[in-house]
Amino acid sequence: MTALPITGIELVDRELKRHELFDSIEAAEILAARLLGVWFTLHSNGLNGDNAAPPSQAQRRAQRRG
């Protein structure tokens, strides 16, 4: 068993521990990066007071226009 990466984010670390039997440290780090990407996406939406749903097409167009 390889040492698990520690992200400092409880939900991500808990999910990594659930999958703790990794073939290599690289496999563990890849999963950690994917989980962090999801966490940051959901967390950034929540910080703005928005719901956790992805932006609609109209919202994405408005963001591109500036």
Whether residue 57 is predicted with pLDDT greater than 80 in this model: the reply is: no
Determine the pLDDT at residue 7: 86
Q: Is 22 a member of any domain?
A: yes
39 touches 12 (CB < 8 A): yes
Whether 48 maps to a domain, the answer reads yes
Asked if residue 2 is part of any domain, the answer here is no
pLDDT in tens, 4-55: 788 888 888 899 899 878 888 898 899 999 999 988 888 776 555 544 455 5
Asked whether residue 5 is domain-assigned, the answer is: no
Given phi > 0 = left and psi -120 to 50 = alpha, else beta, which region is 37?
Answer: alpha
Q: Give the total number of structural domains in the chain.
A: 1
In a domain, 49, yes or no: yes
Residue 52 CA: distances (Å) to CA of 2, 42, 47, 49: 33, 6, 10, 9
Could you tell me the residue range of the domain that residue 20 belongs to? 10-65
Q: Enter the pTM of the model.
A: 0.60
